[in-house]
């Protein structure tokens, strides 16, 4: 089983400031088909998760461009260029290269 | 628009069974792999089961393998999760999600308690 490890587990950020979340996998997520199946999801309290980023760096439809994803192999990063109040909640990375595994989640709060 | 609606949750005793359903609309269901994902109270997300678009393959983590079974009826645009030998630790909100986890339902709560 591929283990996904996120850091930090919580983050306190001022509105308008950047935020960054890291996700490390226990094995390379590069698939034989040339794709890397690493996604980022956001969950607000009481809501289902919603997809932000898929295949490392592709923003899902309707996701603001202040969200960006990067990385390769086993190390990946989600960046928010300027945090807004609506960005609070928990962020998860998820790999789908070998079955599916989620990271533990990173809670983002506003200072 | 794409919609997924879970149903069938409730309270069940340890060792009991429950069948969840996920009705879908707004997309061609038979073209997509589908997932079940769960979230225990106050905890993170855990993948529970996958099924290919045509139902030919199913995948499970070790935590539910042999106890849970995912299935689908493409004529009814509906996904199912049969849960047997339920344990207290299976208590969670169960979500269905479209392949690629691009769309999710609101979830249905399963509580396993005596």
Radius of gyration of chain B, Cα coordinates, nearest whole angstrom:
13
Q: What contacts 24+ positions apart, CB below 8 Å, involve A41-47? A: A41/A91, A41/A92, A41/A93, A41/A94, A41/B45, A41/B101, A42/A87, A42/A89, A42/A90, A42/A91, A42/A92, A43/A89, A43/A90, A43/A91, A43/A92, A43/A105, A43/B45, A44/A88, A44/A89, A45/A89, A47/A89
Q: How confident is the model at residue A69 (pLDDT cuts 50, 70, 90)?
A: very high
Percent share of chain A, pLDDT over 70: 100
pLDDT of A18: 97
Asked if A94 is an interface residue toward chain B (Cβ–Cβ < 8 A), one would say: yes
Q: Are B50 and A102 within 8 A, CB to CB?
A: no
Compute the nearest-CA separation of A23 from chain B (Å). Answer: 15
In the stretch 13-72 of chain B, residues with CB closer than 8 A to chain A read 35, 37, 44-47, 50, 59, 61-62
Q: How confident is the model at residue A43 (pLDDT cuts 50, 70, 90)?
A: very high
pLDDT of A111: 93
Segment A39-54 shows an average pLDDT of 97
In the stretch 37-66 of chain A, residues with CB closer than 8 A to chain B read 39, 41, 43, 48-51, 54, 60
**Per-residue model confidence as pLDDT tens for chain B (114 residues):** 999 999 999 999 999 999 999 999 999 999 999 999 999 999 999 999 999 999 999 999 999 999 999 999 999 999 999 999 999 999 999 999 999 999 999 999 999 999
- Pick the residue from chain A with its C-alpha nearest to B99: A96
Among A1, A39, A48, the residue with its CB nearest the CB of B107 is A48
pLDDT of B15: 98
């Amino acid at each position: 089983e591929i283990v996904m490890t996120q850091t930090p587990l919580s983050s306190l950020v001022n509105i308008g400031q950047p935020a960054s979340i890291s996700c490390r996998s226990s094995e390379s997520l590069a698939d034989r088909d040339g794709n890397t199946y690493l996604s980022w999801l956001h969950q607000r309290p009481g809501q289902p998760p919603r997809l932000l980023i898929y295949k490392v760096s592709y923003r899902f439809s309707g996701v603001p461009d202040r969200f960006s994803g990067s990385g390769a192999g086993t190390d990946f990063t989600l960046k928010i260029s300027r945090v807004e109040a609506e960005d609070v909640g928990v962020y998860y990375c998820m790999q789908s290269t070998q079955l599916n595994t989620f990271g533990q989640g990173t809670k983002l709060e506003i200072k | 628009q794409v919609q997924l609606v879970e149903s069938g949750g409730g309270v069940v005793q340890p060792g009991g069974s429950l069948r969840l359903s996920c009705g879908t609309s707004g997309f061609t269901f038979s073209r997509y792999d589908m997932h079940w994902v769960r979230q225990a109270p106050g905890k993170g997300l855990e993948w529970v089961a996958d099924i290919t678009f045509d139902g030919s393959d199913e995948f499970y983590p070790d935590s539910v393998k042999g106890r849970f079974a995912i299935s689908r009826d493409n004529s009814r645009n509906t996904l199912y999760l049969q849960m047997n030998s339920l344990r207290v630790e299976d208590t969670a909100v169960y979500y269905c999600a479209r392949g690629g986890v691009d769309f999710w339902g609101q979830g249905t709560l399963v509580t396993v308690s005596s």
